């Protein structure tokens, strides 16, 4: 589902290989936030490799057209550490954006879908506000809901547990694990900085990115 | 202390200018290519918001400035030609307002209002990683952010220029008819005798081209902001100066093509 073959990128990867298969939960630990951000860009086709190959859903994303790349990205949900929300769109519009852009649902259907997802993740704040003043935790929740709405085949969590209280962390973990099981073959990939894996993630594999290579194991 | 001075040759300047114009042309070409996607609801929302901001919110100011500009110009023309030359005054007013000052002044007002707003907004979105976030959702930023802005500003420019010229001509005439006691019909005779298809076409082409240039330059500069917030004011300044510069150059070219050749 996601595969790197002897991938090199100056400052991050040196002929690194790595793969995740269908249905897997995987955690990648990076040494710095910079590495994590860059790795996320590699996994979403935003940063091109200097050499090597990267396959997402069996497609070499460096050799496909931008339209095909966007089609591939539609199947990937990304929950960013800062939520990745658009500051000039209200929370409601942020949630609707990918769904309204990519799919031709009626507004009522989208609203219904949003209500269901929000109740699942326990978000009950005002949706008619701009996201700027919201705390990071809430922004992440909205980002998570936005990714969930697209029912992705692969979901990438970009350091989503950082700075959360133990209560909030357990709640998010519960939702994340339940969401993984909702679709057969879905891949959940956690990108986290630091040395030790996040407690509570039921990862099938944990990798460490060190000196340009992936090392498997805790 | 050693001062190093980088010599910039005329050739470098010309090559840079051509590269930049090519980039602006590419951005406009991309916008035309993406025009069919205006039917997508979030893209249409961006377009309508930009119309509201660049067009509707600017409308009142544009009409007032047009009216004042019309009064000032017609007062000067009347002083020059005398009160009895209302037909000539009307003709000169059309020549000045429709051919030249109307599109140019309207473009200057759009530049002061929209260029800074668009380039700063896109720059801030870039700094905050919002454009990357849009790309991660599989949304083409040129389709979602750039194309609707380009067409909204272009359309606003055409409509605002029309209202600016209308306010300047008829507002100016009305006010001076009252103060100088010249019959309104005298002025309108001069106006209708000199207002030809050529004048209207030149004004339309100018306003459309100015709008497209302003939008393309603003978007291009906004997208060039990378990761530092200090680049935002630099981008807005560059966008303002470059828009103004290109508008004046295009104004000269179109005037030459229509009224000199």
pLDDT tens per residue, range B58-114: 999 999 999 999 888 888 888 888 777 777 887 888 888 898 999 999 999 999 999
Using a CB–CB cut-off of 8 Å, the residues of B that contact A are 40-43, 45, 121, 124-125, 128-130, 132-140, 144
Size of interface A-B (CB pairs under 8 A): 65
Residue A5 in any domain: the answer is no
Contact B136 A73 (CB under 8 A): yes
Residue A67 in any domain: the answer is no
Q: What is the CATH number of the domain that holds A172?
A: 3.40.50.300
Distance, in Å, from the CA atom of B176 to the CA atom of B90, rounded to the nearest integer, reads 11
Share in percent of chain B as helix, strand, coil (round to 5): 85, 0, 15
Q: What per-residue confidence (pLDDT) applies to B180? A: 74
How high is the mean pLDDT of chain B?
90
The distance of B258 to chain A (nearest Cα, Å) reads 41
Contact A73 B144 (CB under 8 A): no
pLDDT of chain A along its 218 residues, tens only?
899 999 999 989 999 998 999 999 999 999 999 999 999 999 999 999 999 999 999 999 988 999 999 999 999 999 999 999 999 999 999 999 999 999 888 888 888 889 999 988 888 889 999 999 998 889 999 999 999 999 999 999 999 888 788 888 888 888 899 999 999 999 999 999 887 777 778 889 899 999 899 998 76
The distance of A138 to chain B (nearest Cα, Å) reads 17
Query: pLDDT for B35-61, tens place per residue?
Result: 999 999 999 999 999 999 999 999 999
Query: How many independent structural domains does chain A possess?
Result: 1
Q: What per-residue confidence (pLDDT) applies to A217? A: 75
Cα–Cα distances (Å) from B137 to A28, A31, A98, A159, in that order, read 21, 26, 6, 18
What is the sign of the dihedral through the CA atoms of B173, B174, B180 and B182?
Answer: positive
Cα–Cα distances (Å) from A110 to A163, A182, B184, in that order, read 31, 19, 58
Take residue A53 and report the two structure tokens written for it. Answer: 């190959």
Distance, in Å, from the CA atom of B65 to the CA atom of A41, rounded to the nearest integer, reads 48
Contact B135 A73 (CB under 8 A): yes
pLDDT at B3 over 70: no
Residue A201 belongs to what domain range?
A: 24-45+74-216
Extents of the domains making up chain B: 38-260
Q: What per-residue confidence (pLDDT) applies to B179? A: 79
Q: What per-residue confidence (pLDDT) applies to B7? A: 64
Using alpha carbons only, what angle is made at residue B207 by residues B205 and B208, rounded to the nearest 5 degrees?
65
Mutation choice for A interface testing from B41, B45, B137 by most A CBs within 10 A? B137
């Amino acid at each position: 589902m996601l595969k790197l073959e002897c991938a090199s990128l100056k400052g991050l990867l040196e002929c690194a290989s790595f793969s995740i298969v269908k249905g897997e939960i995987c955690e990648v630990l990076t040494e710095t936030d910079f590495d994590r951000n860059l790795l996320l860009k590699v996994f979403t086709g935003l940063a091109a490799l200097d050499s090597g190959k990267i396959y997402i859903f069996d497609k070499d994303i460096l050799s496909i057209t931008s339209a095909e790349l966007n089609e591939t990205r539609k199947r990937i949900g990304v929950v960013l550490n800062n939520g990745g929300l658009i500051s000039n769109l209200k929370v409601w519009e942020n949630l609707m954006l990918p769904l309204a852009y990519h799919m031709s649902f009626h507004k009522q259907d989208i609203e219904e879908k949003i209500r269901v997802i929000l109740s699942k993740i326990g978000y009950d704040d005002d949706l008619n506000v701009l996201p700027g003043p919201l705390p990071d935790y809430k922004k992440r929740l909205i980002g998570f809901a936005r990714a969930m709405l697209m029912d992705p085949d692969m979901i990438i969590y970009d350091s989503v547990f950082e700075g959360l209280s133990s209560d909030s962390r357990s709640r998010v973990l519960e939702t994340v694990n339940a969401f993984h099981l909702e679709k057969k073959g879905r891949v959940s990939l956690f990108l986290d900085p630091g040395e030790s894996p996040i407690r509570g993630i039921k990862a099938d594999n944990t990798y460490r990115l060190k000196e340009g290579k992936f090392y498997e194991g805790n | 202390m050693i001062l190093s001075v980088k010599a910039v040759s005329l050739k470098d300047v010309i090559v840079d200018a051509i590269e930049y114009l090519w980039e602006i042309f590419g951005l406009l070409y991309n916008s035309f290519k993406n025009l069919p996607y205006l039917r997508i609801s979030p893209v249409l929302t961006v377009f309508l918001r930009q119309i509201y901001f660049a067009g509707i919110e600017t409308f009142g100011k544009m009409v007032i400035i047009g009216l004042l500009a019309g009064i000032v110009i017609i007062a000067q023309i009347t002083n020059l030609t005398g009160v009895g030359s209302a037909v000539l005054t009307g003709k000169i007013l059309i020549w000045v307002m429709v051919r030249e000052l109307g599109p140019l002044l309207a473009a200057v007002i759009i530049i002061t209002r929209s260029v800074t707003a668009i380039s700063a907004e896109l720059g801030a979105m870039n700094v905050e990683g919002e454009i990357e976030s849009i790309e991660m959702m599989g949304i083409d930023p040129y389709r979602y952010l750039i194309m609707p802005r380009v067409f909204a500003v272009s359309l606003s420019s055409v409509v605002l220029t029309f209202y600016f010229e209308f306010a300047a001509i008829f507002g100016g005439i009305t006010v001076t008819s009252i103060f100088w006691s010249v019959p309104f019909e005298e002025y309108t005779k001069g106006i209708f005798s000199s207002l030809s298809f050529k004048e209207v076409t030149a004004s339309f082409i100018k306003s459309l081209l100015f709008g497209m240039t302003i939008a393309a330059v603003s978007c291009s500069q906004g997208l060039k902001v990378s990761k530092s917030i200090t680049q935002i004011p630099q981008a807005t300044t560059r966008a303002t100066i470059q828009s103004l510069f290109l508008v004046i150059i295009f104004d000269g070219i179109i005037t030459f093509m229509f009224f000199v050749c």
